[in-house]
């Protein structure tokens, strides 16, 4: 027969009529039917425009022919297919309701599964199993797959396919080729042991706890991992991938839909919160995280090229813990400005091992400084005994020559102090300035036990990684497990250098720092407990000698509680 050329109309009603007419002709013309089937399996765009359906309860008549938008046919489908065919990882960031899951995990995947050749095995994951497959729930990925599959003409469904045998929970089997689509929920061993043509990570930014493990575990499962999702803050593997520079990224914004324009966008601004707009529509990683805790931080103002002054003491601020121990290297200059020079954040590392590495970096970054020019302040919790080794963190640090001064202070107060310092200025420059260092997250020479040793981490925190606590507590930021450690460390330094004096009376009183006595006088509520530090240190490090640097002028031989 002559070569068949199809011109498919894209307007909904015209497209529906074209489908009906073509299918009617195919029913009575086996040769045409064979040609159409071959063409559809070869051309995924044609397959979508002629055979794919979608369900949308918001748009009557609800059961709609799936006609691709321009960005879907020009960006999504070609990019997904190229990644699958050529074997490379891909990240698709998107606004909400842009059809990426319909096109990719459920559409492109099904088209591969229908091929007459085998080897088209796919794994589709989401953060919960109920989002992967739940019978009768059209929003789940496998129900989207089923919806498209069962709207196909019988002659396009694989030979021998039976619902009861080949359509299982989280599994679709092509009996003619053996190709399988499998679904799985987020877990640390995600996909382990399998071999797939492609692995999909649907709504990857919202995978919790084991997202990094789930991504890594499929490195040998497939050559093509495709993550899709709407941003959900900076503290997740998805954001890390997006900003790594080591994975191809495609982007789909809501305004690329032909049925949405600036009038629609302005209406969304009226009905949504700032955070919701940032997260659901504007593809903002910082805004989507929640309300930014440090909105007064300005990159052009607070980020500076800073160099350590060998004549000034160094204040090192510590936060302890196995998962992400953190230390911030700072100096207070002659104009009373606080300069944040370097930071080191560990990753699943014991404190003594971490401390020895910190000491090596002290020698590298401050080669002209003497030992007495370093003062260490940190978390009072470091004075608690570790049941496993019967030592406190502070004792362990003392063994390697690091002696930490601790002060008990409300976390809320420390956070307020850092905010205030960002607003103050001296001689036209801000009181708090942060060193401009390059992102080192993907430096392969960096030790495996480090998350970072670059101030990029601090900048990301200021720009939105640190956000208000979801519980709505006044002036408190969320303990997210990533950014909070270095900012907790900084808070101990802020309170050490600028104790409560920057706060007005009402703030200081609400934080429990001051009170009025019976005579109406304002007094500080800080309890001071005198401790024989020499005795403590001798117990931890035989013959140790405490040298507090300029901290000695403030606390002498007392630990402040």
Which CATH number characterizes residue 195's domain? 3.40.50.300
Least confident of 15-19, 466-470, 497-501: 497-501
Long-range contacts of 25-32 (CB under 8 A, 24+ apart): 26/153, 26/155, 31/1, 32/1, 32/4
Angle among Cα 206, 212, 217 to the nearest 5 degrees reads 120
Q: Based on the domain organization, do 276 and 322 belong to the same domain?
A: no
Q: Based on the domain organization, do 276 and 306 belong to the same domain?
A: no
Q: Based on the domain organization, do 242 and 307 belong to the same domain?
A: no
The better pLDDT of the pair 138, 323 is held by 138
pLDDT, residue 440, reads: 72
482 assigned to some structural domain: yes
Indicate which CATH number applies to the domain containing 447: 3.30.420.280
Q: Based on the domain organization, do 491 and 540 belong to the same domain?
A: yes
Q: Based on the domain organization, do 460 and 426 belong to the same domain?
A: yes
Q: Based on the domain organization, do 181 and 283 belong to the same domain?
A: yes
The better pLDDT of the pair 263, 44 is held by 44
97 assigned to some structural domain: yes
Q: What is the reported pTM? A: 0.62
The better pLDDT of the pair 84, 7 is held by 84
CA-to-CA distance for 526 and 508, rounded, in angstroms?
A: 12
Please give the average per-residue pLDDT across 116-131, as a whole number. Answer: 95
Number of independent structural domains in the chain: 2
Domain end marker among 265, 289, 313: 289
394 assigned to some structural domain: yes
pLDDT, residue 315, reads: 97
Q: Based on the domain organization, do 182 and 282 belong to the same domain?
A: yes
HEC-encoded secondary structure of 7-28: CCCCCHHHHHHHHHHHHHHHHH
Q: Which residues contact 181 (CB under 8 A, 6 or more apart)?
A: 109, 110, 113, 121, 122, 124, 145, 171, 172
- Tens of pLDDT, residues 346-384: 988 988 899 999 999 999 999 999 999 999 999 887 656
- Tens of pLDDT, residues 522-549: 344 443 333 343 444 444 444 333 333 3
Whether residue 54 contacts residue 66, with contact meaning beta carbons closer than 8 Å, is answered with: yes
Domain end marker among 289, 321, 338: 289
Q: Based on the domain organization, do 418 and 440 belong to the same domain?
A: yes
Domain residues for the domain of 220 are 56-289
Q: Which residues contact 370 (CB under 8 A, 6 or more apart)?
A: none
Confidence tier at 460 by pLDDT (50, 70, 90): confident
The better pLDDT of the pair 271, 525 is held by 271
Domain end marker among 289, 320, 336: 289
Q: Based on the domain organization, do 271 and 209 belong to the same domain?
A: yes
Q: Based on the domain organization, do 280 and 362 belong to the same domain?
A: no
Q: Based on the domain organization, do 330 and 200 belong to the same domain?
A: no
The better pLDDT of the pair 246, 387 is held by 246
Q: Based on the domain organization, do 412 and 466 belong to the same domain?
A: yes
């Amino acid at each position: 027969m002559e070569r068949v050329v199809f011109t498919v109309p894209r307007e909904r009603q015209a497209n529906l009529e074209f489908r009906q007419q073509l299918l009617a002709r195919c029913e009575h013309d086996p040769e045409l039917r064979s040609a159409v089937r071959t063409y559809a399996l070869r051309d995924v765009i044609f397959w979508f425009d002629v055979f794919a359906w979608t369900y949308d309860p918001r748009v009557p008549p609800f059961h709609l022919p799936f006609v691709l938008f321009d960005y879907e046919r020009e960006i999504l489908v070609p990019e997904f297919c190229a990644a699958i065919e050529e074997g490379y990882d891909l990240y698709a960031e998107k606004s909400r309701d842009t059809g990426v899951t319909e096109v990719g995990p459920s559409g492109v995947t099904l088209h591969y599964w229908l091929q007459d050749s085998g080897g088209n095995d796919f794994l589709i994951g989401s953060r919960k199993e109920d989002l992967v497959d739940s019978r009768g729930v059209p929003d789940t990925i496998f129900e989207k797959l089923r919806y498209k599959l069962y709207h196909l003409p019988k002659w396009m469904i694989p030979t021998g396919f039976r619902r009861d045998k080949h359509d299982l929970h989280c599994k679709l089997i092509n009996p003619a080729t053996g190709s399988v689509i499998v679904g799985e929920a987020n877990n640390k061993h995600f996909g382990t042991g399998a071999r797939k043509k492609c692995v999909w990570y649907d709504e990857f930014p919202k995978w919790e706890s084991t997202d990094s493990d789930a991504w890594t575990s499929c490195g040998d499962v497939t050559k093509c991992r495709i993550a899709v999702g709407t941003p959900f803050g900076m503290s997740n593997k998805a954001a890390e991938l997006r900003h790594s520079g080591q994975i191809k990224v495609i982007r789909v914004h809501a305004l690329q839909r032909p049925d949405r324009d600036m009038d629609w966008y302005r209406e969304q601004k009226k009905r949504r919160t700032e955070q919701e707009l940032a997260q659901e529509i504007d593809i903002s990683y910082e805004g989507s995280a929640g309300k930014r805790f440090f909105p007064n931080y300005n990159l052009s103002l607070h980020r500076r090229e800073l160099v350590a002054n060998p004549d000034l003491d160094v204040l090192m601020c510590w936060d302890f813990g196995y998962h992400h121990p953190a230390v911030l290297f700072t100096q207070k200059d002659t104009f009373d400005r606080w300069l944040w020079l370097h930071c080191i954040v560990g990753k699943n590392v014991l404190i003594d091992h971490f401390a020895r590495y910190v000491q090596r970096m002290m020698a590298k970054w401050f080669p002209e400084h003497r030992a007495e020019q370093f003062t260490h302040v940190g978390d009072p919790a470091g004075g608690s005994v570790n049941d496993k080794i019967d030592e406190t963190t502070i004792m362990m640090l003392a063994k390697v020559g690091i002696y930490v001064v601790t002060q008990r202070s409300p976390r809320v107060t420390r956070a307020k102090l850092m905010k205030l310092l960002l607003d103050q200025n001296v001689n036209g420059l801000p009181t708090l300035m942060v060193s401009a260092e390059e992102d080192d997250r993907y430096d392969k020479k960096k030790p495996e036990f480090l998350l970072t040793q670059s101030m990029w981490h601090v900048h990301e925190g200021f720009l939105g990684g640190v956000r208000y606590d979801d519980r709505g507590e006044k002036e408190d930021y969320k303990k997210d497990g990533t950014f909070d450690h270095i900012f907790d460390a900084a808070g101990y330094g802020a309170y050490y250098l600028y104790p409560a004096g920057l706060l007005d009376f009402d703030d200081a009183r609400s934080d429990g720092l001051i009170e009025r006595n019976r005579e109406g006088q304002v007094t500080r509520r800080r309890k001071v407990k005198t401790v024989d530090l020499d005795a403590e240190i001798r117990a931890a490090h035989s013959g140790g000698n405490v040298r507090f640097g300029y901290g000695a002028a403030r606390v002498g031989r007392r630990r402040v509680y």
